[in-house]
Amino acid sequence: MNYSLSFLFAVLLLSSCSTPTTLFSDSTSQPIPFSVVNEIKDPVLKPGDKITISIWGHESLSIGSVNSVYNSNEETGKWVVVDDDGRVNLPKIGRVTIAGYTSKEANFFLEQQYIKHLKDPIINIKVLNHYVTVLGEVNKPGKYKIDNEQISLIEVLGEAEGLTDYAQAEGIRVIREENAKTINYKVDLSNADYLYKQNLALQPNDVVYVIPKKGKETGKKAAKAAPFVGIITGIAVLISVFIK
């Protein structure tokens, strides 16, 4: 037996580990059309949305007002849910339908309802449960809230503390549901010229996935195998000494 024994064991250790498949393959992705990159859509309110409603100067009628200490987060419980019929039950005006409106449209609609009871009402709706999800090779994967209703791809990657050393900058995918269909956009941020050309405006429930480099698993396996290779090398040296 000689030092080749350690190499043989190392190869076996590395080859015994399975190689993961890529989560989103090129066959299911498509380049981002130029018209989509800077297309900013105001999210539409829908059943299940949690919203706060601020009525300027009327805190007793507001729900989670941005002007009070109980503002704008789910933990306070100061919010109302759009029900399955697309309606909310509000002080003074009762049950009204707001599903299907954007936040701006709903603000105007509610102002028209409250003008019957208040003078020149100023209303601001904020949605609490609009998120995008970031997965894959970022330093801080997770769900990120769209606080201002608009967030770009680069902004959310910044929130996720950037790409890891194993990330493919040219291998970023944005998965979106549109008209009951799932769209898988391919984004390449490997070139500085692409940063603004492909800086997609994200929408609620978008999923951003950063694909790992092909060499990632090999590098991780090698790191895991290194201690075993050292042990095997030591054993090989001892055996070679005793069999001389």
Q: What is the pLDDT of residue 84?
A: 95
Task: Decide: 80 and 50 in contact? Cβ < 8 Å.
Answer: yes
Residues of the chain with CATH 3.30.1950.10: 50-127
Q: What is the pLDDT of residue 106?
A: 95
Q: What is the pLDDT of residue 4?
A: 47
- pTM greater than 0.85 (yes/no): no
Q: How far apart are CA 181 and CA 26, in angstroms?
A: 18
DSSP string, 107-156: HHHHHHHHTTTSSS--EEEEES--EEEEEESBSS-EEEE-TTS-EEHHHH
Q: What is the pLDDT of residue 79?
A: 87
Q: What is the pLDDT of residue 82?
A: 95
Q: Please name the CATH architecture into which domain 50-127 falls.
A: 2-Layer Sandwich (3.30)
Q: What is the pLDDT of residue 77?
A: 52
For domain 32-42+130-213, the CATH class is alpha beta
Task: Print pLDDT tens along the chain (244 aa).
Answer: 444 434 434 444 444 444 344 455 555 677 776 667 667 778 889 999 999 999 998 988 888 765 544 444 544 557 899 999 999 999 999 999 999 999 999 999 999 999 999 999 999 999 998 899 999 999 999 999 886 667 889 999 999 999 999 999 998 999 998 888 898 999 888 888 777 788 888 989 999 999 999 865 555 554 555 565 566 666 655 566 566 5
Q: What is the pLDDT of residue 10?
A: 47
Q: How far apart are CA 205 and CA 207, in angstroms?
A: 6
Task: Decide: 149 and 130 in contact? Cβ < 8 Å.
Answer: yes
Q: Give Cα 87 to chain centroid, integer Å.
A: 28
Residues of the chain with CATH 3.10.560.10: 32-42+130-213
